[in-house]
A and B are shown apart, each in its own frame.
Chain A
Amino acid sequence: MRSLRSRLAPYWLALPGGMWLAIFFVVPMFFMLSLSLQTGDTLNGYQQTFHWSTYSDVLSGYHVQFVRSIIYAVIVTSLALLISYPMAYWIAFRAGRHKSTFLFLILLPFFVSFVIRTLSWQFILADNGIVMGPLKDLHLLPQDFHVLATSFAVICGLTYNFLPFMVLPLYVSLERIDHRLVEAAHDLYAGRFAAFRRVVLPLSLPGVFAGVLITFVPVASDYVNATILGGTHTTMIGNIVQTLYLTNNDYPAASALSFTLMGALLLGIFAYARALGTEDVMQTAAAR
C-alpha cells in the first residue's frame, strides 16, 4: 500500500502543472487548430469545413512578413548574444561583490512599461530630435537622413527590449562555472583564449541555448517595435496576426497564421537542439 502511494506521488506532484498545461495550452491550441479550418464570419458563425486552403492563402499572402520576422529574429538574437555574452561574463567573473547591483541595473528598464520604453526611442531618434537635430545642424548628417521608420530602427528596438532575456540565462550558466577548472586549464598550458574556448564556452552553452530560445521566440512574434519604430517595409508577422484578429475578425486566417508560425518556430528549435548536439544542454537548461 505504502509503496503504491510512494510510486504515485510523483504523478500527484505533476498533476497541477499538467492540468495547467492542458487547460491553458493544449485545449486552446486545439480550438485554434479547429478554428483555422473553419469558414464563415463573426455574425453568422463559423462552420467546420476543413478548409485547408486558408493555410496556403495566408502563406502566399504574408510570406514576405513571415520571412522578414524570422530574419529580424535571427539578427536580433545574434546581436543580443554578442552584446550579452561579454556583459554576463564580466558580471559573473569580474564584478565581485557588486554582482547583484549590476543584475539589478540590467533589470531596471523592466520597471518601465514595454510600450513606454519603445516610445522613448521614438523620441530619441526623431528626425530633428535630441540626437539627429544637432548632427544635422552641424551638417554632419544630410538633411533627409533618418533612422526611424527603417529596419535598422526596428532591429535596434527589438535588441534593446529583449537584451535582458539573453543576459540572465547566460549569467546563470557562467556564474556556475567552477573557477578551479579555468585555473586547471591554465596549469595545463592553455592560454587565455584556449581556456575560454575549451572550458568556459562549452560550460556556458546551456545558458546560450536557453537565452537564444527565450529571445528568438518572442522576437519573431513581436509587433510593438515594428508599429512604433518601423516604416513602410518593416511589418512583422505579429502585426498581421493582430490586424487579422482584432480589425478584420478573420479568425480562421489569423489562427492559421499563428499555427504556421508556431510550427515553424518549433521545427526551428528542434533543428537547433539537434545541431547543438547534446541533450546535456537541454537537461541543464531545464534544470533552471
Chain B
Amino acid sequence: MDRLDPRDTPSAALVDPAWLRGLTERRLSRRDVLRLAGMGGGAMVASSALAACGVSGGKAKKTATSFWDGKKVKGSLVFANWPLYMDKAHGTHPSLDLFEKQSGIKVTYKEDVQEIPSFYGKIEPELAAGQATGYDLIVITNGVYLDKMKAANWLIPLDHTQLPNFNKHAGPAIKDPTYDPGNKYTAPWQSGITGIGWNPKYVKEPISSFEDLLNPKYKGKIGMFADNADLPNLAILGNGVTPEDSTPDDWNKAADVLKKQRRLVRKYYEQDYIGPLSKGDIWISMAWSGDIFQANLSDPGLDLQFVVPDEGGLIWTDNMCIPVHSSAPVDALKLIDFYYDPEHAAMLTEWVNYITPVPDCKAVIEQQAADTKGKDRIYLNELAKSPLIFPTDAMTSKIHDYRVLTASEEKQWNSIFEPIYQG
C-alpha cells in the first residue's frame, strides 16, 4: 500500500551544453537583431497558439434510464481491484472460481488499482475521450475522485432489480451513504475505519480521545496522515463538528488545531505509518483499522491498539462501480451481487480482514469455526469476535462520513489544509 511512485533511477535533466555555450558567448550582431525581430514575430504566432490549445473537459452524457432494458450477459468481464484484496489459495482466487462455475461468466481479474489518484489518471483520458476503459468493474474509494466520476457521468447507475442479495444482506451502516445516496452508482466492496492507533509498549494509559493526539507528553512521537481527506475530517470531528455539516469556518478552526499540533508531530505519513508505529518511531498515530488488525496478525508479539475516538471516527469505503462504455454491465452486476451472498462475503473477509459490507457473514464464520479444529478455529473465532472486522454498535454510532466537496469548495479546502502537512 505504498503510495510512492516507483522511480528506479533519478533522471538527470541535462541542459544542452551547446545551447548554453551559445548563451554565454554570443554578442548581438546585426543579423542577430534581424533574427530576434523574426523571433518576435514567431513569439506572436506562438502566443496565439498558446491561446488556442486549451484542454477540454470530458463530461459524458447522462446514462439513459432505459440503459438496462434488454441488456444481456456477455459471458466475460474484466475486474480491476486493489492488490491483496481478494481471497487467494494455491495461486487462484477461490471465490472468483466459484463465481465462474456458478454463472458461466469468465472473470479477468487485475490488481491494477495501486492508489486512486494514479488509477484515476490512467482511466481519465479514455473516459474523457468517450472510450471504454477496458474494465467492466472497478473498485474506487469514496472521495473526490469518485465524486468527479459521478459528476462527469462516467459511472453507469446500478440496476437494483438485478441485485437481490445486495437488497437483502447489505449492512445498514454502509447502505445509502452520503457520497452516493441510494447506492445509485456504487456497491461497497470493503470498508475501514480511520481512528487512532497506539503502541502499548510505549503508551501506558488507554487512549480514547482526539485530544490524546494533541498531548505534549507525546511530543515527536505522534503520527498524522499527509492527505486532505482523513486529516481534515478527523480534526473537524475532534472539534465536535460533524464533517458533513461543516462550514469553511469549521475548517479554519480545525486547521488552527492542527497547526498548533504541528510542533508535536513526528511526521505526516503517506500510508507508511504502520512500520514506524510497530518499531516505536511513533507511539500514537492516526490509523486505519484494517492495518492494525493485519499488523498484529503478522507479528504475534505486537498487540497494537485501535480506538474510534470519542469525538468520532471516519468510515471509508472501497466501492465497486461500472464505468461507462463497459461491454459487460450485466456480468458486472452479477459479480457485485455474488459478493453480497453471506457465504461468499465470508470467503473474502477471512482473507482480507477489512470491515465487510455484509454483516450476515459473521454467522457463517462462526459456523465454520465451530466445524473446524485447532489453529483455524482460533483464527476464525478471533475474526468473528474482532470489532475491527465487525464493528460494535458503540463503534458504529461514532462513525461518520467524509465531507463531500464541490469543485469550488475543494479549492478552498485544499488551500486551508494542505499547508499543514506540506510544511
Complex contacts, B407 vs chain A, CB 8 Å: 41, 43
Q: Which residue of A lies closest to B25 (CB)?
A: A279
Complex Cα–Cα for A40 and B54 (A): 10
**Residue from A48, A114, A213, A250 within 8 A of B7 (CB atoms):** A114
User: B4 an interface residue at 8 Å Cβ cutoff?
Assistant: yes
Residue among A127, A162, A234 making CB contact with B10, cutoff 8 Å: A162
Say yes or no for B256: interface residue by CB 8 A criterion. Answer: no
* A283 and B21 contact, CB distance less than 8 A: yes
Q: A278 vs B148: C-alpha distance in the bound complex, in angstroms? A: 55
Whether the Cβ atoms of A33 and B267 lie closer than 8 Å is no
- Hey, which chain B residues are within 8 Å of A165, CB to CB? 10, 12
Overall SS of chain A's interface: helix
Is B151 positioned at the interface, with any CB of A under 8 Å from its CB? Answer: yes
The proximity string for B residues 2-31 relative to A, scoring 1 for CB distances below 8 Å and 0 otherwise, is 001111111111111110110111000000
Instruction: Please give, as numbers and ranges, the residues of chain A lying within 8 Å of B419 by CB-CB distance.
Output: 61
Known A149-B266, A222-B10, A230-B267; contact A274-B54, beta-carbon cutoff 8 A = no
Chain B, Cβ-Cβ closest to A48: B51
Tell whether, in the assembled complex, residue A218 and residue B12 are in contact, meaning their CB atoms are under 8 Å apart: yes
A162 to B13, CA, bound (A): 13
Q: Is B53 an interface residue (CB 8 A)?
A: yes
Q: Are B14 and A214 in contact (CB under 8 A)?
A: yes
Within 8 A of A (CB), among B214-269: 219-221, 227-228, 262, 265-268
Contact of A247 among B17, B54, B228 (CB under 8 A): B228
Q: Are B14 and A286 in contact (CB under 8 A)?
A: no
Taking a contact as CB atoms under 8 Å apart, the answer to whether B118 and A232 are in contact is no
A66 to chain B, nearest CB (A): 12
Residues 23-55 of chain A, each 1 if its beta carbon lies under 8 Å from chain B, else 0: 000000011011101101111111110100000
- Do B4 and A213 touch (CB < 8 A)? no
A residues near B7, Cβ cutoff 8 Å: 114-115, 224
Interface size on A, residues (CB 8 A): 70
Check if B52 sits within 8 Å of A43, measured CB to CB. no
Minimum Cβ distance to chain A for residue B147 (Å)? 10
Closest residue of chain B to A214 (Cβ to Cβ) is: B12
* Stretch of B55-63, B285-293, B343-351 contacting A (4+ beta carbons < 8 Å): B55-63
Taking a contact as CB atoms closer than 8 A, the residue among A30, A115, A128 that contacts B46 in the complex is A30
B104 CB–A CB distance under 8 Å: no
Task: Report the bound CA distance from A40 to B276 in whole Å.
Answer: 40
Q: Does the CB pair B268–A113 fall under 8 Å?
A: no
Q: Which residue of A lies closest to B411 (CB)?
A: A250
Chain A nearest CB from B281 CB (Å) reads: 4
Query: A224–B118 Cα gap in the complex (Å)?
Result: 16
Query: What 1/0 mask marks residues of chain A from 144 to 185 whose CB sits below 8 Å from any chain B CB?
Result: 101011000000000001100100000000000000000000
Q: Does B212 contact A (CB under 8 A)?
A: no
Give A126 to B278 CA distance when docked, in angstroms.
11
Q: How many Cβ-Cβ contacts under 8 Å join chain A to chain B?
A: 157
In the bound complex, do residue A44 and residue B279 qualify as a contact, i.e. CB atoms below 8 Å apart? no
Picked from B54, B59, B268, B415, the residue with its CB within 8 Å of the CB of A46 is: B54
Q: Which residue of chain A is the closest to B202 with respect to CB atoms?
A: A128
In residues 232-288 of chain A, which contact B (Cβ within 8 Å)?
A: 232-235, 239-240, 242-243, 246-248, 250-251, 266, 269-270, 273-274, 279, 282-283, 285-286
Are A146 and B17 in contact, CB atoms less than 8 angstroms apart? Answer: no
Q: Please tell me if the beta carbons of A161 and B280 are within 8 angstroms of each other in the complex.
A: no
- What is the CA–CA distance of A250 and B55 in the complex, to the nearest angstrom? 13
Residues of A within 8 A of B117 (CB): 246-247
Q: With A34-B50, A222-B10, A232-B268 known to touch, is A146 a contact of B55 (CB < 8 Å)?
A: no
In the bound complex, CA of A126 to CA of B7 (Å): 23
Interface contact B423-A38, CB-CB below 8 Å: no
Whose C-beta in chain B lies nearest to the C-beta of A230?
B267
Which residues on A sit within 8 Å (CB–CB) of B148? 42-43
Contacts of A46 in B (CB 8 A): 54-57
Closest chain B CB from A188 CB (angstroms): 33
Compute how far the CA of A29 lies from the CA of B215 in the bound complex, rounded to whole angstroms. 48
Instruction: Please state if B54 and A48 are interface contacts (CB–CB under 8 Å).
Output: yes
Partner of A213, one of B14, B270, B418: B14
A residues in contact with B46, CB < 8 Å: 30
15 contacts between A and B (CB under 8 A): A30-B50, A31-B53, A33-B50, A37-B50, A113-B6, A126-B279, A144-B220, A146-B281, A217-B12, A218-B13, A232-B265, A250-B414, A266-B15, A279-B21, A283-B17
Instruction: Report the 8 A-B pairs with minimum CB-CB distance, sorted nearest first.
Output: A45-B57, A286-B17, A44-B57, A46-B55, A45-B56, A214-B12, A127-B281, A246-B117
A-B contact sample (17 more), CB < 8 A, given A43-B152, A46-B54: A21-B16, A34-B53, A44-B59, A45-B56, A46-B55, A47-B54, A50-B51, A61-B415, A115-B7, A126-B279, A228-B4, A232-B421, A239-B422, A246-B117, A279-B21, A282-B20, A282-B21
Q: Which residues does A use to contact B, with CB under 8 Å?
A: 21, 30-31, 33-35, 37-38, 40-48, 50, 61, 65, 110, 113-115, 122, 126-129, 144, 146, 148-149, 161-162, 165, 213-214, 217-218, 221-222, 224, 227-228, 230-235, 239-240, 242-243, 246-248, 250-251, 266, 269-270, 273-274, 279, 282-283, 285-286
